[in-house]
Structure 1
Amino acid sequence: GVRSETRDPIIDMFTHTPEIPPNCQWCLFLRNHDELTLEMCSGEERDYMYYTYARDPSMRRNIGIGRRLAPLLENDRRKIELLHSLVFTLPGSPIIYYGDEIGMGDNIKLKDRDGVRTPMQWTMDRNAGFSNCDPAQLYLPVVADAVYGYQAVNVESQKEAPHSLLHWMKRMIAVRKRFPAFGRGAITFLRPGNGKVLAYLREHESVTLLIVHNLAGSAQSVELDLKGFAGSTPIEVLGEARFPMLKESPYILTLAPYGFYWLNLIGKPSEVDAYGIEQTVL
């Protein structure tokens, strides 16, 4: 969806997901210890994924892609944050693969799936602080390239940098925990005219959250049909900024490239029925 700058693949994934018992959830992850398998994709889809994410044959594993998240996204902080925002706000239990919270890279020269299983990069010390043994005794070598090597990417350095990816992840997780709607609420996908914008409501008990993502690499404006919530005031939950009150007219938002909003709709909505909104409860 991000690469093609369209919301359709993401909505299709959720609207076609098989039903599960009400006391269960799907696990949502961006990467894990196995390759990104393309076994269930069509030949055309597989070729597109290879062309997009693994043009170098050494990045491929069997019929999958053996890369970590940061290299897959060209180490673009905006894309990394956008995808984690999706995982944190869509229905399911978010799973973060070790190292992705600091933007670790991979080593595609290692055999099989070992390229995404290198030692965690804790510090700039020997063996990235993972072990004090002789480096030759490590089961797998630490990542040592200029961009993703442990001297540049490690937990210790990011703890000291208030605007690091690690601190951003911790803040987002803390905010998510404040709102049970993310973990237990129903989801209602909105269908605005701008297909580059993915917007949905998460509702649980008396709380309604409006989540809006820009999947494009350029700024986007979107008109949302929210007249069913006329009279409510959106409050941005990350910085508590107050947005203009919702009315029966289309609600206009402008998002930065790969930008997103988490908005809490405060106040009693009107009794006017929403229009043009497809609801999917998971």
Structure 2
Amino acid sequence: LPGSPCLYYGDEIGMGDNIWLQDRDAVRTPMQWTPDRNAGFSTADPGKLYLPVISSLVYHHGAVNVEAQMASGSSLLHWTRGMLSIRSRHEVFGIGEFSLCEADNPAVLAYTRIVPTGAAVPEAEAAGRAEPEVQGVRAVLCVNNLSSRPQAARIALPESLKGADTADLFGGTGFPDVDDDGRIHLTLGAQDFFWLGLSPQGA
């Protein structure tokens, strides 16, 4: 969606909150770096910390910490880094024109971000690149399943993307291309999403 992505510290490892603390202190507990004393945040006596380390059975620092997630390739931390890396490689996420796409399933939200041919690209100018060069794809389809169950949807794309080739930006997964009538049929897992790069016919 349009706007700047925002991660508050701890989001990248799925850190919990201490809802029993007042005001915003619930989300200001020590960062959980390791499973060690004070979560590796400080060598001070625990009683001298500004706020106590989270003690929840689910979110305590023995279970949720940076050290453990760095060691696991399937962790939320690595997944988040991968997402941010993809976004930075494809400028269309930040500068592309936003357009909602009609889907025949209300549980599915779909939209495109497109950098039109010949459009001004401030990032390219700032980097000294030949305008209107764009890093990464010029068009992307973002599809989100807002349901807790798998959902299928037929999605209508803009006229310019009829018959477009698709490419999974995460790599390795095959997807159907856009039909000549400008529609694409996709099935998503529960609360799943796709980022598909789009290459118009003849591009």
C-alpha contact (below 8 Å) 2:176/2:184 kept by paired residues: no
Partner of 2:193: 260
C-alpha contact (below 8 Å) 1:233/1:246 kept by paired residues: yes
Q: CA–CA distance in 1 between the matches of 2:115 and 2:172?
A: 20
C-alpha contact (below 8 Å) 2:97/2:115 kept by paired residues: yes
Partner of 1:144: 55
Q: 1:215-254 CA deviation, whole Å, 9 max, x = no partner?
A: 0011111011237222311100002434222223432111
Amino acid at match of 2:166: P
Q: CA deviation at 1:105?
A: 0.7
Q: Which moved more, 1:224-233 or 1:191-200?
A: 224-233
Q: 1:189-211 CA deviation, whole Å, 9 max, x = no partner?
A: 01212111000000114511011
Gaps of 5+ in 2: 118-137
C-alpha contact (below 8 Å) 2:176/2:185 kept by paired residues: no
Amino acid at match of 1:235: A
Does residue 162 in structure 1 map to residue 95 in structure 2? no
Gaps of 5+ in 1: 1-89, 271-282
What is the TM-score normalised by the length of structure 2? 0.84
Q: 220, 225, 236: which one pairs with 2:168?
A: 236
What is the TM-score normalised by the length of structure 1? 0.61
Q: 99, 113, 116: which one pairs with 2:24?
A: 113
Q: CA–CA distance in 2 between the matches of 1:221 and 1:124?
A: 42
Amino acid at match of 2:24: R
> How many equivalent residue pairs?
181
Structure 1 segments of 4+ aligned residues over 6 angstroms from their partners: none
C-alpha contact (below 8 Å) 1:233/1:242 kept by paired residues: no
Q: 199, 202, 211: which one pairs with 2:142?
A: 211
C-alpha contact (below 8 Å) 1:234/1:263 kept by paired residues: yes
Q: CA–CA distance in 2 between the matches of 1:143 and 1:240?
A: 38
Q: CA–CA distance in 1 between the matches of 2:98 and 2:164?
A: 19
Q: 1:89-145 CA deviation, whole Å, 9 max, x = no partner?
A: x11111100001101111122222211110100001110000000001101000012
Partner of 2:93: 182
Instruction: Say what the alpha-carbon RMSD is for the aligned residues.
Output: 1.6
Does residue 245 in structure 1 map to residue 177 in structure 2? yes
Partner of 2:157: 226
C-alpha contact (below 8 Å) 2:102/2:157 kept by paired residues: no
Amino acid at match of 1:156: E
SS in structure 2 of the partner of residue 202 of structure 1: strand
Q: CA–CA distance in 2 between the matches of 1:222 and 1:248?
A: 17
Amino acid at match of 2:187: T
SS in structure 2 of the partner of residue 141 of structure 1: coil
